[in-house]
Structure 1
Amino acid sequence: MSQAQGNYVKPRLLAVVLTLCGVGLSLQGWTLAFLGGSPYYLGAGLLLIAVALLLFRGKPEGAKLYGAFLGVTYLWALFEVGLDPWQLMPRVGLFTVLGLWFLLPRVRRGLLQREPDALLQLPATRPVAAALAILVVALFATNGRYEAKVPTAAGTGQVFDDTGQWRHYGASQRGTRFAPTAQINTTNVGQLEPAWTSRTGVPGEFKGTPIQIDDGLYLCTGRNVILALDPDSGEERWRYNPEIQSARIGFWDTCRGVTYYASPPEQADSNCPERIITATTDARLIAVSKETGETCSDFGDEGEVNLLTGMGEIKPGYYFVTSPPTVANDTLVLGGWVLDNQETGEPSGVVRGFDPVTGALKWAWDMGREDRIGLPAEGETYTRGTPNVWSLTSTDEELGLVYVPTGNATPDYFGGHRSEAMEKYASSVVALDTETGRVRWHFQTTHHDIWDYDVPSQPTLADIPINGALRKVVIVPTKRAQIFVLDRETGEPVTEVAELPTPQTDIPEEFTAPTQPFSVGMPRFDHERLREADMWGITPFDHASCRIQFKRMRYEGPLTPPTTGYGSLYYPGVGGGMNWGSVAVDEVNHLMVVNSLHNPSVVRLIPRAETEAGYNYGIGGAQAGTPYAVYSFFF
């Protein structure tokens, strides 16, 4: 007997691993193929089982077959996704690692039944080496990167806020999110280092954007604690704690920012000539002194206005404010956040304008009672269930307009019950007169919205060159990743908008609009249509599972309506597209910077007979008052 014959052990452990992989992939592959998906997984599973059987018998043909399998897998993967390493990994990563197992000396001896003279003698060596080479190339290849030339010299535009300060949440009342400063540029941005750190001492999330007024920074933390900081050192100058009433707030304890207002000298309280204003998650409007942080006694009731006045019954957590109000021609304009998907009769989405000195209500825009300017009469309330305005507004004080991005009528994913008032202004940008609160114009970005496609971003005002002349526009980013560019005086589209057919509902109690507006005159910031090949995972198994889920759901491209069963996939999802971040506009060089999300969502309608309670708040909800509860999640 030769030296090795008794020591050459068949690679049974590798065979067991490949058997398990093969059985799992075969089962998933059968399901996917039955659903009309890629046949690769079924074929791959059967091939792995065949390789395993050969390895159990100690046949070197098993290595040859695995090499062929690896080659086919790479060809299939490259055909589907090219050299994108992020997409290649779930398709080939595990199988490449298993291929390395074939190169171990113990496995090589077991298959060759002798001592191999060289590594290249094993049939699997070359395919594995080629696979590794492809992965290395993919890792260093350029993927998803686009170079664009931008002007380096001064442009021809106009700077509308050259104070060098950040006086509003979006830099200016126009919401441009651009600082026209020259100290930081492409040559030194890489040298920036932290100058200081300030600890707020408030637990939880911090989502506030500071504003700079003169030599101070002003911001709010969770629970609406207002801080004044020294911008050079970060030292705290004062803080104001409104002592949020926890019983009245909901799941979200967030403050996005504060607002600055300088009172006319003849009107100002002696302790509040300049004030910092915040709207709270327990529905109060509060003004404090910019210098001391003490409440402004001339504002409302000792510095506070109750935002629940006229709202009727408000269940805990059903109405709160996270966005700072906008000062528009000496009017504080704000909306409020209404809890999603709970019931049909949720609090009103009324938008209100207040006097920034006294806190008195100047006007209210109630979509269900547009004839009423002030408070509802005794025994009445603002119209319930109307679209709310939870994001930020912008203003053009010369035109006397404030631009309001609206959400949806409640609940989000069923609209068979909605009135004309609920439909008219939903998912729109609305231009309101700053003095009266009456509508000058509105533009709807989604008709009969049953996807939670609120307009989430602060509208951005800019003057852009069109046909050789500067045009005053309002830029409206949306969750749909569509950006609409409108004349800000009339609301007419400046870039082309087309009404295109979209998929129709299969829910008997529901209806869908036959067409939806698409901003075809602007670049698109989403994929035109998701494919099975766009699904992702970490391993082939969760990758196959994701593809199976995709094939089971209803998906017919953008604006696929919600449905029952496995639900519908819609993309962009509930988070966008665009969201809070809006866009940034360099008004000098006429550049727009866009940050777009790429998260699809799944929405599943649950017939009322199957669930009376619905689901706790996540993105789903009971949708009481409709025939369906809803469950939704990011996919």
Structure 2
Amino acid sequence: MENEAGARGVCGWLLLLLGLAVAILGLAMGVGGGYLVFLGGSWYFVLMGAAMLASGVLVVARRPLGAWLYAVAFVATSFWAVADAGLEFWPLVSRLMTFAVIGVVIALAYPALVRSSGGSGGRGGYALAGVMALAVAAAIGYMFVPSPVLRATSTPDVVPVAEGQAQTDWKAWGNTVAGDRFAALDQITKDNIGQLQIAWTFRTGDIPESTGSGAEDQNTPLQVDDTLYHCTAYGKVFALDVDSGTERWRFDPQAESPNWQRCRGLGYYEDASIEAASGDAAAQAPAACRRRLFLPTIDARLIAIDAETGEPCADFGDDGTVDLQADMGPVNEGWYQQTSSPLVAGDLVVVGGRVADNFAVDEPPGVVRAFDVHSGELVWAWDPGNPETTQRPPEGETYTRGTPNVWSAMSYDPELGLIYLPTGNATPDFYAGQRTELDDQYSSSVVAVEAATGRVRWHYQMTHHDLWDLDVPAQPLLYDIPDDQGGILPTLIQVTKQGEIFMLDRETGEPIAEVEERPVPQGNMPGERYSPTQPFSVGMPSIGNEILAESDMWGATPFDQLLCRIEFKQMRYDGPYTPPGMDRALQFPGSLGGMNWGSVSVDPTTHYMFVNDMRLGLAHYMIPRDQIAAGASGIEMGVVPQQGTPFGAMRQRFLSPLGIPCQKPPFGTMSAIDLKTRELVWQVPVGTVQDTGPLGIKMRMPIPIGMPTLGASLATQSGLVFFAGTQDYYLRAFDSATGEEIWKARLPVGSQSGPMTYVSPNTGKQYVVVSAGGARQSPDRGDYVIGFALPGDATQ
């Protein structure tokens, strides 16, 4: 009897705790749901909250009706979830999983509720709990199953590399100056990639310290003959043996900057006359710097380095260095630096520069300059604020300050003699009443300049009067597309932060794929002006930029989804190009993208272009000048001063309280676009929550939900696409025909770097190399350069 009484006592306490928990959750949901209704949102949450509150109170009172009420509410929730979200898996998980788990517990408690009320039976609750538990388990299991956003309907054949056509070197950041990131190599295939393994690892000893100010390893190494060249976030350069990864030499520029430390790539030049020379001519050629690397530094220098020895090239500039702060006027520390690779175009080395966003209007110029690869002498300059002057400014003057800059990588067409510049906007980003006519003309555009003179041939603008930090962030892809008439269309393809993809004639700048000028929302900030329309590239697929609705809000649980819905309804959001204002407004995609600096890769045997993206919103609002605190900088997020304008600005990621993007998954994908048909052929989520999660806590589960991506991809002629720029720590390979992930290798830390590949001239073995210095938003940092290869000899 005492045992039975004790059991009843424990059971009573458990029912009390269960009822209180359900009631408290219901009360919280009801209060939040009521506020959502007040904001004009869905009634569901207030109704479900009321049902849970009543259910919990009844359970506390030990009445079986509490369980029945919850069951009815759960069934109604299931119908609402499908009506609200359709049959998409992740939205349904957000709406149903938590309630289903609670339902399992209530079903298990139902027999006890029946007994507590003086009745008998109720054992059907155990059966129901079992069924629901199996459904929950099945849903959890399905979380680990990759699910394409768009499944491929055809599979183009792999075309073997023709004899003598295999790639021999990787001499530019994008492999070629066209930015194709394609390697005509097929030793590593879909059939044998399962055997791919680490062949060597090199440690630079130069770990990018994650201080919140932008120190990140984003390098893609170069390879020439039997040497690999790598640069670190702080600008140290290493020459490595391609087969062993052992160091041959290193160069330290002793560069410092308080922010935005990175080196995405080096430039490479080899003297064609020396390479072609033989006999006496070769013997008489100068030994030093026959091959030279160009290092852009974080403290605004351009250094020429002998690729054979690692010594500065004394004939270039001032003993190997050109000071890029010359003719720029005052340059505050960290306000101007080089972050992307220089472009080597014939006998020119061309550099732009990253100008710090949002500090002030009178920041350093956005000038692009071309220097002689041998002497370092200025050949021409393109000053967006004074395009008629293509040399140094007059004595005592500077290039035009505060103009649009070119911080990303450039491309070059030697046949047309044109260099293509992807521009940003004139700083600051979110208030532009002070911008000049030329600022508006050249910002957020692709500008084609003549390689010989630096004069503008044409330009095409992707965002008019940019108020959203929609810099053109990626290297333009130059690609020849068959025109179905036996000829080709010489195209330039540009991906953008807003998820739009533009296809232009690279000779004239005219759109090849249709572009529509569409009306966009207008703002009312004092002193500001607004473009009435913006260009939408309707002739190409858009990626990850759908117009959001309340039903698109998401969370790991219904509770953080409710908070995201409240935040969404609190913000002003009128779709694309919602302008900044004094109230909190939503920009989607946010200023990180869409697509970013990693650009694209392409397989010319199938005409498939591969695009990775991220899907993160940005919440922002303007702040009157007298309310901006001293020292505001907002390097990543937060308040930015925008000195010289009437307003500063607040920038915040659109995240749930758990630190998860508020809109439904995926948050990052890899897509394939057929450039002949201009159609999206497949799209898959990329990245798992293994090394990240709510509140920054690593979930350590490979759930392929698709996380934001940042980095470059690599396509090979064997039908593979390699990618490492995810928030989990993997190098992956996808089947380029279908998007199926067919291989992955664990990295010691994450990567933002672009993989590259080559065949060793000594061993004939193909390697895939990636730099792993740490994923964006991850505290884990490293200094790894890792080479992968198949086991055994290349002939096996």
Following superposition, the deviation at residue 476 of structure 1 comes to 0.9
Q: 1:79 aligns with which of 70, 77, 83?
A: 83
CA distance in 2, matches of 1:524, 1:275: 40
- Output the amino acid matched with 2:314: S
Could you say what secondary structure the match of 2:58 adopts? helix
Contact 1:228 1:239 in 2 (8 A): yes
**1:233–1:551 CA distance, 2 compared to 1 (3 A):** same
What is the match of residue 784 of structure 2? none
Deviations 1:94-130 (A, max 9, x none): 222222222446x632443369657315797488468
- Structure with more contact order per residue of length (Cα contacts < 8 Å, sep ≥ 6): 2
In structure 2, stretches of 5+ residues that fail to align are 209-215, 275-280, 655-796
Following superposition, the deviation at residue 429 of structure 1 comes to 0.3
CA distance in 2, matches of 1:223, 1:201: 11
What is the match of residue 156 of structure 2? 151
What is the match of residue 100 of structure 1? 104
Q: 2:565 aligns with which of 547, 555, 571?
A: 547
Q: 1:583 aligns with which of 570, 578, 600?
A: 600
Could you say what secondary structure the match of 2:199 adopts? coil
Contact 1:335 1:351 in 2 (8 A): yes
Following superposition, the deviation at residue 180 of structure 1 comes to 1.3
What is the match of residue 770 of structure 2? none
Q: 1:480 aligns with which of 498, 504, 509?
A: 498
Deviations 1:355-381 (A, max 9, x none): 010111111111111121211122211
CA distance in 1, matches of 2:344, 2:170: 15
CA distance in 2, matches of 1:278, 1:578: 26
What is the match of residue 33 of structure 1? 37
Q: Does 1:447 align with 2:447?
A: no
**1:143–1:441 CA distance, 2 compared to 1 (3 A):** closer
CA distance in 2, matches of 1:299, 1:545: 58
Q: For 1:114-193, what aligned pairs fall within 5 Å after superposition?
A: 119-121=123-125, 125=129, 128=132, 132=136, 135=139, 139=143, 142=147, 144-154=149-159, 162-193=166-197
What is the match of residue 109 of structure 1? 112
Aligned residues with identical type, % of pairs: 45
Q: Does 1:338 align with 2:393?
A: no
**1:279–1:99 CA distance, 2 compared to 1 (3 A):** same
Following superposition, the deviation at residue 92 of structure 1 comes to 2.0
CA distance in 2, matches of 1:53, 1:145: 46
Q: Does 1:514 align with 2:567?
A: no
- Output the amino acid matched with 1:321: Q
What is the match of residue 433 of structure 2? 416
What is the match of residue 559 of structure 1? 577
Following superposition, the deviation at residue 550 of structure 1 comes to 0.5
- Output the amino acid matched with 1:152: D
Could you say what secondary structure the match of 2:626 adopts? coil
What is the match of residue 252 of structure 1? 260
**1:145–1:118 CA distance, 2 compared to 1 (3 A):** farther
Q: 1:595 aligns with which of 584, 608, 612?
A: 612
Could you say what secondary structure the match of 1:152 adopts? coil
Contact 2:504 2:512 in 1 (8 A): yes
**1:278–1:2 CA distance, 2 compared to 1 (3 A):** closer
CA distance in 2, matches of 1:164, 1:631: 49
- Output the amino acid matched with 2:238: L
CA distance in 2, matches of 1:572, 1:180: 34
Could you say what secondary structure the match of 2:613 adopts? coil
**Larger displacement relative to structure 2 (72-81 or 420-429):** 72-81
- Output the amino acid matched with 1:236: E
Following superposition, the deviation at residue 80 of structure 1 comes to 2.3
CA distance in 1, matches of 2:133, 2:599: 47
**Structure 1-normalised TM-score?**
0.94
Following superposition, the deviation at residue 594 of structure 1 comes to 1.2
Following superposition, the deviation at residue 508 of structure 1 comes to 2.8
**1:579–1:527 CA distance, 2 compared to 1 (3 A):** closer
Contact 2:360 2:642 in 1 (8 A): yes
- Output the amino acid matched with 1:229: L
**1:151–1:26 CA distance, 2 compared to 1 (3 A):** same
**1:108–1:143 CA distance, 2 compared to 1 (3 A):** farther
Q: Does 1:631 align with 2:639?
A: no
Q: 2:542 aligns with which of 518, 524, 533?
A: 524
Contact 1:336 1:390 in 2 (8 A): yes
**1:209–1:387 CA distance, 2 compared to 1 (3 A):** same
Contact 1:211 1:219 in 2 (8 A): yes
Contact 2:545 2:594 in 1 (8 A): no
**1:321–1:136 CA distance, 2 compared to 1 (3 A):** closer
CA distance in 2, matches of 1:497, 1:472: 18
Contact 2:67 2:107 in 1 (8 A): no
Q: 1:361 aligns with which of 354, 359, 378?
A: 378
Q: Does 1:503 align with 2:521?
A: yes
Following superposition, the deviation at residue 483 of structure 1 comes to 0.8
**1:123–1:162 CA distance, 2 compared to 1 (3 A):** closer
Could you say what secondary structure the match of 1:46 adopts? helix
Q: Does 1:217 align with 2:216?
A: no
Deviations 1:200-250 (A, max 9, x none): 100213211001111111110121000001111111110000111x3xx23
CA distance in 2, matches of 1:158, 1:504: 55
Q: 2:253 aligns with which of 231, 242, 249?
A: 242
Following superposition, the deviation at residue 634 of structure 1 comes to 2.0
CA distance in 2, matches of 1:274, 1:296: 10
Contact 1:486 1:493 in 2 (8 A): yes
Could you say what secondary structure the match of 1:222 adopts? coil
Q: 1:288 aligns with which of 305, 310, 330?
A: 305
Q: Does 1:47 align with 2:71?
A: no
In structure 1, stretches of 5+ residues that fail to align are none
Following superposition, the deviation at residue 165 of structure 1 comes to 2.1
CA distance in 2, matches of 1:161, 1:588: 13
- Output the amino acid matched with 2:260: W
Following superposition, the deviation at residue 5 of structure 1 comes to 7.6
What is the match of residue 491 of structure 1? 509
Q: Does 1:276 align with 2:293?
A: yes
**1:161–1:528 CA distance, 2 compared to 1 (3 A):** farther
Contact 2:168 2:225 in 1 (8 A): no
Following superposition, the deviation at residue 268 of structure 1 comes to 6.9
**1:532–1:158 CA distance, 2 compared to 1 (3 A):** farther
Let me know the Cα RMSD of the aligned residues.
Answer: 2.5
- Output the amino acid matched with 2:190: T
CA distance in 2, matches of 1:161, 1:39: 64
CA distance in 1, matches of 2:114, 2:406: 69
**1:343–1:405 CA distance, 2 compared to 1 (3 A):** same
CA distance in 2, matches of 1:629, 1:586: 44
**1:210–1:142 CA distance, 2 compared to 1 (3 A):** closer
Contact 1:35 1:548 in 2 (8 A): yes
**1:482–1:351 CA distance, 2 compared to 1 (3 A):** same
CA distance in 1, matches of 2:146, 2:167: 44
**Larger displacement relative to structure 2 (183-192 or 385-394):** 183-192
**Larger displacement relative to structure 2 (145-154 or 227-236):** 145-154
Tell me the number of residue pairs that the alignment of Structure 1 and Structure 2 aligns: 629
**1:112–1:160 CA distance, 2 compared to 1 (3 A):** farther
Contact 2:410 2:419 in 1 (8 A): yes
Contact 1:71 1:127 in 2 (8 A): no
CA distance in 2, matches of 1:615, 1:390: 23
CA distance in 1, matches of 2:394, 2:49: 71
Deviations 1:556-602 (A, max 9, x none): 1111111122x111111111111111111112321111112211111
Contact 1:83 1:138 in 2 (8 A): no
Q: 2:205 aligns with which of 201, 214, 218?
A: 201
